[in-house]
Structure 1
Amino acid sequence: MKKFLKISAIFLVSLFAFQMVEAQRMQKVNGKNIVNPYYSRTDSKILKLPESTWKKVLNANLFSVSRLNDTEMAFTGKYNDFDGLGTYYCAACGNALFKSDAKFASTCGWPSFFEAIRPKSVIYKKDTSYNMVRTEVRCGRCDAHLGHLFDDGPTASKKRFCMNSISLEFEPNAKNSK
C-alpha cells in the first residue's frame, strides 16, 4: 500500500508540473489563447527568430518588455516581494535562469538575484540608452530582454541582477508544491 501511495504521489506531482508548463506555454495574444511552440524547459537550442514571430506567440506586455526592451514599473511585478523556493525561467522560451536561493530583497522594486543558474543561461550587452551606460541582461537561449546587471549586490561578487517580473516564470520545487 505504501508503494502505491508513493507512486500515486509522484504521478500527481508530475502531472501538476506538466500542467504548469503547458499553462506557461499558453498565452492570450490579441484576445486568443495561443500556444508558444518555442517554450521549452528542456530544449537548450539557441532560438534565432524574427520579431514578427515573437509578436505572434507572446502577449503584448511580455513582447514589449522581452523584445522591445521595455521596463515594467517598479514595485508592480509579481516576483518583487515573492520568496517561494524553486526556479525562475524565461517567460518567452522556458530557459532556466535563476534559483530562488540566489534571490535577495534589494528594495529596488524588481526581483533581484546575485547569480544566474548557469554562466550561459544569460548573456550581457552594453546598454547606452537614456544617457547611461549599463549592462543589459538577456536570455541566453532566445535573447529576450530580462533586465540589467549592477555592481551593488550583497555577495562578494557585488552582482545584482535586476529583472523584470514579466520576463520570468516561476516553478516551485517539487517538495514545496504539496
Structure 2
Amino acid sequence: MKRVIVAITGASGAVYGIRALELLRRIADVETHAILTSSAHRTIAHETTHSVEDVRALADHLYHPRDIGAAVSSGSFRTAGMLVAPCSVKTLSGIANSYNDELVVRAADVCLKERRRVVLLLRETPLHAGHIDLMARATANGAIVMPPVPAFYALPQSIDDIVDQTVGRALELLDVVVPGIKRWDGSSVVPDET
C-alpha cells in the first residue's frame, strides 16, 4: 500500500486538493492521509460546492492541523511523499524555513529530511522577490514547486480538464500514475510557416 499525504491550505484553488483526494480514491493501492488547515475550511466553503465534511470523507486518514504528534509527523511513518494543493505563501514560507509550528509544515519537513518528494502547488501571483526567494529555498531543501499552470497541449475543454491534468501531473511526481492524463507525444500538426 502506497501512502500519500495531501494537505489543503487556505490559498485559492482548494479544488486541486479535493480533486487529488478524489482521484487517489480510485487507485486501489493508495492510502491517503489528509490535513486541512483552518483557512482551507473557509476556502472550500467559498470556492466549491463541497462541504468540509465531504472533503474529510475523501481521505482514508484525517489529521488535525495542530496535531504535531500525528503519524505523518514522524520519519518512521513511511509515505510516498506529500502534495500540498493548494500551497499558500504562508505554508511555502514555513517549509522553506523549517518552521514546524503546524502539522502541514512538519509533515513536509519530515518528508524532505527523509528524502521523500514534496510537491507544492503554489497559488500566488504576481510574485515579489520574497516569494521567489522562498521558492528557491524550498527547492534547495528538496521540495518541488509546481504552480498550477494549465497544460494547453492537452486541449482542455473545461475547468475540470485543467484541474485533472494539473493534479495528475503533480501526483505523477509522487510516482502515482493517474489513468487518463494526457501526455505530449510530439505528434501535433505544425502549421506551415510559408
Identify the TM-score tier after normalising by the shorter chain: under 0.3
Where is the helix percentage greater, Structure 1 or Structure 2? 2
